[in-house]
Amino acid sequence: MALFRRILSLRRRARMEQEIDAELREHMAMCIDDNMAQGMSREEAERDARRRFGSPTAMRERVSAEDAALGIDSLLQDMRGALRVFVKSPGFSLVVVATLALGIGANTAIFELLDAVRLRALPIEKPGELAELRIVGGNRGFGVTDNFFTDFTVPMWQEVKEHHDPFSGIFAWRTSDVQVGAPNQLHRVNGLEVSGDFFSVLGVTPVQGRLIEPQDEASCQITRVVASYSFWKSQMGGEPITANTTIVAEGKSVQVLGVTPPSFFGMIVGDRFDLAYPTCTPPHPRGEAFVYSVMGRLKPGWTLRQASEYFNALSPGLFAKTAPDGYSSQAIKTYKAFRLGAYPAGAGVSYLRDQYNSSLETLLAITGLVLLIACANLANLMLARASGKQREVAIRMALGASRGRLLRQILLEGALLAACGALLGAALAQPLSRALVNSLDTSQNTIHLTIVADWRVLLFAAAAATATCVVFATLPALRSTNAEPLTSLKSGERGVVGNRERFSVQRAMVITQIAVSMVLLVGALLFVRSYRNLLTLNPGMRESGITVGYLGFPSANVKPENLASFKRQLVDDVRAIPGIENAAGTTNVPLSGSTWGHEVEIGSLNGPSRFTYVSPSFFATLGIPLLEGRNFTDHDTNDNPLVLIVNQAFIRRYVGARSPLGVQVHVRPEPNYPARTYEIIGVVPDTKYSDLREDRQIQAYVPIAQLPVTAQQPWMAMLIASRDPAAAQLAVRHTLDGKYPGIEMQFFDFQQGILDHLVGARMMARLSGFFGVLAALLVVVGLHGVLSYFLAQRRSEIGIRMALGASRGRVVAAMLRNACAMLVAGLVAGTVLALFAGREASTLLFGLKPWDPVTLAGSAVLLALVTIVASLVPSLRAANVNPIDSLRAE
Amino acid sequence: MAKNDLQGALDLLILKTLSQLDSMHGYGIMMHIRRVTDELLIVEEGSLYPALHRMEQNGWVRATWAITDYGRKAKWYALTRAGREQLASREKNWAQVVKGVDAVLRLA
């Protein structure tokens, strides 16, 4: 209370001083009155009063000095003092604030991204209650899985929809593209298929019209949709929704029921839905297709663990009931052993989280280390400044200033700098974070992420600033006030370094800097080299000049048994276009991330293999040589013997040393893919399959014309080789459009698609490289500063030595020896740290180990060079010390 | 141990005076102390006003501007509850100091 009043009174300082003046004036007047009453003349009375009273100004200052002793006023004074110091040395302050802003800004930016991707709750009602059901340990590759989030088949969903005691409500959802617009201006938008209770369980309320409700779940044709706010605004003009509002989706006019609020983006963080439509119950649900993600809201009183136990107990019955037909008994056994578990889902699901989590954490560690180096640098700077003020501090302490007061002043300077840095850093963080998100965008996929500075981010920035301040200001403050005033006064600005201990702290700090920079440089080199490895990796096939086209022809209404020849015709048509070198159809585009496989039996051996169904021209188009046997021909159809071309990994695993040609390969049955026996007719070398990072995959190729009729789909991926992809794309589009009206076409560049998969590695390489260089620069600054300070301290000592006959070379050598000792200590510590840190980052690397000797040696050499450059200037300056000058200064 | 010093004594004198007079201005406090001690203790302005200011900031006394009997405007001080508590503890404290000093004097 009293403290509060004092703080308040500070703001009324001027008024209070007036009041004190008035009170004292009245006091004088009363004194004069009394004197006159005792018979003095007015003049005499006034003189007597003034004599007794003394100077009114001095008196007022004595009264208001009472406040100064109370502390707060002096705090302001200190603050003003600190500001004055900064204004006097703007260069120093600028360097400090800029360093801190960069350090804190980078940290906050990465944290902001982590926050957005992982921590922030979905914009729904009570997100903490939302739980996701998943198969514990995943479905182990059983059946067909839509994407990473889909763990439920339609029959599973129907079961769990009826039995969910722990949940007050439950819903299923999945993402799927929707085609909107008239036939001549079709485009794909992000669709969100939801069950009837989706919006009510989430607690999302419409801004226009109504949202999807259980009664909408009827037709398997899309007839009703709900638009997202951004879709409504950008594609529908934001017109009010009425009962007659329709748009064209999937070629038909559909009713728009309503619009979701702007904050609701769907369930996937980093993605944004455009249209939501109701699920349906298909007449023959496929038991092997995992298409839905299922979530529910926990009833009050239920914990996630209890819910997991409930669903675990439910699982045996559920999986026994929903087991699909057409599988071997072994596969069905696996299926029936699945167990469901409940997991928190309040933060939604995210590809980004799974893809970039460890990258972001590594980046946060990297930026943290950079901030640490910056702090060490600043601490050294402050220490050097504090030493410069040694004499001042000593005099003040000798005059009776308390240690606490001096400490406070130095800490306050630090706190002010840290606060300025943090403010600037927080402002920098947002654009940095956005830039980071944009750097992860690819040619086909844009990340939609709201980056906002919420309380977590602000808290983080504040914590970073506080920690920074503590690190870089406390030590110098303690050191400078620890000194004995007498010794400081005596040694003052003389040339003898009285206290070696003081200097050793600075050395320790430089050693720390070198060690941490070593870690950062090793990290940078590892990430850059691993990105280079990925870029220069030979996937075993042609990458440049290949266009990938996805062709869809459901509107042509080709009968399944005729699809094979229809596809051959398509490929032939494209190959006939002038300018096209070659073209081939395939069911799976290499290096696109998708996979397809079957279980095979060869003699007594059995196991999985990747299967791709391709045109005969596939190997020629991608430049994959045939090592043995013959290529497919147009005669390899379902009417002729079934044939297989396998890669070397397949041979190594299943065939062994005997001649592979003619070996029989049995393929186990799966829904739509009956049991079959193929004969190996050719061998190709190992090529990368779905991802550059993965090891050699066991692969087998089947002629696309031998795809089982039941598995024929009215779409095909086509690889088109040409010298000018842009022109080729136009020509293909033109030709096919003319010949097959209504055919859907989507093209992208094969090489670009591969590069798109490397954005994560690219980000790590760029950022870690940037921070590695920054760390090295900071080391230069720090080392240069410390050595310059060292020189300043020992200037006269060097002078004396030179006067006594020390050669310049010896002086320089002594200085360099000093730097080298720190360098060696730093490098040793840094190598040990880097080895430890590398273990954490090993999953992000490709083609090299975290203890890669070349990288370690390279970083050490780089740092050594940097150190020598940084220490050369002060060392040479030491050699130029004029003995006469420095001795005269004594 | 009794904690006291000259400043403590001055605070005690002012607080006691205010408790006897209910409310008084600075000049009056000064004159009152002078009168009741038969000019044995003279509180200087240079000590009185800083002390009053500090007490006001600490919330021991409350001040209001009012007119004196002789038609002068003056700042009148009165004890607050906190002030009365201070007075009680200081009186006790003072008694101990006196006892202690007495004991030393008797021995000497």
User: How high is the ipTM of this complex?
Assistant: 0.84
Q: Looking at beta carbons, which residues of chain B come within 8 Å of A64?
A: 53
Q: What is the pLDDT of residues A430-442, one digit of tens each?
A: 888 888 888 887 7
How far is Cα A756 from Cα A862, in angstroms, rounded to an integer?
A: 31
- Positive or negative, the CA dihedral B6, B8, B13, B14 is positive
Task: State the CB neighbour count (10 A cutoff) for residue A424.
Answer: 17
Q: Is residue A171 domain-shared with residue A309, that is, in the same domain?
A: yes
Half-sphere exposure of A141 (CA within 13 A, CB side): 11
- Which structural domains are found in chain B, ordered by start? 6-107 (1.10.10.10)
Domain count, chain A: 5
**pLDDT at residue B2 in the model:** 44
By C-alpha distance, the chain A residue nearest B45 is A53
Reported confidence tier of residue A193, pLDDT bands at 50, 70, 90? very high
Q: Is residue A686 domain-shared with residue A833, that is, in the same domain?
A: no
Q: What is the DSSP letter of A349?
A: B
Domain that holds residue A152: 127-346
Average pLDDT over residues A9-27: 76
Reported confidence tier of residue A4, pLDDT bands at 50, 70, 90? low
By C-alpha distance, the chain A residue nearest B48 is A63
Q: What is the pLDDT of residues A593-608, one digit of tens each?
A: 788 888 899 988 888 8
Average pLDDT, chain B: 84
Q: What is the pLDDT of residues B29-65, one digit of tens each?
A: 988 988 888 888 888 888 888 888 888 888 889 988 8
Average pLDDT over residues A6-23: 70
Average pLDDT, chain A: 84
A697 falls within a domain? yes
Q: Is residue A614 domain-shared with residue A759, that is, in the same domain?
A: no
Q: Which residue has the higher pLDDT, A752 or A882?
A: A752
Q: Which residue has the higher pLDDT, A745 or A627?
A: A627
Q: Is residue A769 domain-shared with residue A865, that is, in the same domain?
A: yes
Q: Among A177-186, A675-684, A718-727, where is mean pLDDT lowest?
A: A177-186
pLDDT at A765 > cutoff 80: yes
Bridge partners (DSSP) listed for residue A225: A256
**pLDDT at residue A704 in the model:** 93
**pLDDT at residue A496 in the model:** 45
A225 falls within a domain? yes
pLDDT at A2 > cutoff 70: no
A800 falls within a domain? yes
pLDDT at A870 > cutoff 50: yes
| Nearest-neighbour CA in chain B from A55: distance (Å) | 10
Q: Is residue A91 domain-shared with residue A197, that is, in the same domain?
A: no
Average pLDDT over residues A131-146: 84
pLDDT at B3 > cutoff 50: no
Domain end call among A317, A346, A375: A346
pLDDT at A47 > cutoff 90: no
Q: Among A81-90, A100-109, A303-312, A631-640, where is mean pLDDT lowest?
A: A81-90
**pLDDT at residue A497 in the model:** 47
| Nearest-neighbour CA in chain A from B67: distance (Å) | 11
Cβ(B32)–Cβ(B21) below 8 Å: yes
**pLDDT at residue A122 in the model:** 84
Average pLDDT over residues A9-32: 78
Task: Check CB contact under 8 Å for B45 and A64.
Answer: no
Q: Looking at beta carbons, which residues of chain B come within 8 Å of A54?
A: 45-46
Question: 63-102 in B: which are within 8 Å (CB) of A?
Answer: 68, 70, 72-75
pLDDT at A187 > cutoff 80: no
Task: Check CB contact under 8 Å for B25 and A26.
Answer: yes
Cβ(A799)–Cβ(A881) below 8 Å: yes
Q: Is residue A333 domain-shared with residue A362, that is, in the same domain?
A: no
CA-based nearest residue to A346, from A126, A601, A658 = A126
Domain end call among A742, A762, A792: A742
Q: Which residue has the higher pLDDT, A489 or A234?
A: A234
A353 falls within a domain? no
Domain end call among A493, A513, A545: A493
Option in A27, A65, A66 nearest B26 (CB): A27
Q: Tokens at residue A645, please? A: 């071309």
Q: Is residue A94 domain-shared with residue A166, that is, in the same domain?
A: no
What pTM was computed for the model? 0.70
How far is Cα B67 from Cα B80, in angstroms, rounded to an integer?
A: 21
Q: What percent of chain A has pLDDT over 90?
A: 27
CA distances from A5 to A10, A60, A78, B64 (A): 9, 20, 21, 16
Q: Is residue A166 domain-shared with residue A306, that is, in the same domain?
A: yes
Cβ(A413)–Cβ(A740) below 8 Å: no
Structure-token match 């933060």, residue found: A347
Reported confidence tier of residue A228, pLDDT bands at 50, 70, 90? very high
A541 falls within a domain? no
Average pLDDT over residues A397-426: 78
Q: Among A180-189, A414-423, A579-588, A801-810, where is mean pLDDT lowest?
A: A180-189
Task: Check CB contact under 8 Å for A6 and B57.
Answer: yes
Pairing of strands A187-194, A275-278: parallel
Q: Is residue A317 domain-shared with residue A386, that is, in the same domain?
A: no
A547 falls within a domain? no
Task: State the CB neighbour count (10 A cutoff) for residue A784.
Answer: 16
Reported confidence tier of residue A494, pLDDT bands at 50, 70, 90? very low
Q: Among A215-219, A228-232, A559-563, A623-627, where is mean pLDDT lowest?
A: A215-219
Average pLDDT over residues A704-724: 91
Q: Is residue A529 domain-shared with residue A560, that is, in the same domain?
A: no
First to last CA, chain B: 21
Q: Which residue has the higher pLDDT, A532 or A694?
A: A532
pLDDT at A77 > cutoff 90: no
pLDDT at A850 > cutoff 70: yes
Task: State the CB neighbour count (10 A cutoff) for residue A258.
Answer: 21
Q: Which residue has the higher pLDDT, A184 or A169?
A: A169
A548 falls within a domain? no
Reported confidence tier of residue A6, pLDDT bands at 50, 70, 90? low
Q: Is residue A770 domain-shared with residue A889, that is, in the same domain?
A: yes
Pairing of strands A293-298, A167-180: antiparallel
**pLDDT at residue A483 in the model:** 62
Reported confidence tier of residue A316, pLDDT bands at 50, 70, 90? very high
Task: Check CB contact under 8 Å for B50 and A62.
Answer: yes
pLDDT at A117 > cutoff 90: no
Average pLDDT over residues A69-91: 71
Task: Check CB contact under 8 Å for B50 and A9.
Answer: no
> What's at A687, amino acid-wise?
T
Chain A to chain B Cβ contacts (< 8 Å)? 64
Reported confidence tier of residue A767, pLDDT bands at 50, 70, 90? confident
Q: Is residue A288 domain-shared with residue A370, that is, in the same domain?
A: no
Average pLDDT over residues A294-307: 92
Half-sphere exposure of A319 (CA within 13 A, CB side): 20
Q: Tokens at residue A731, please? A: 């020509």
A844 falls within a domain? yes
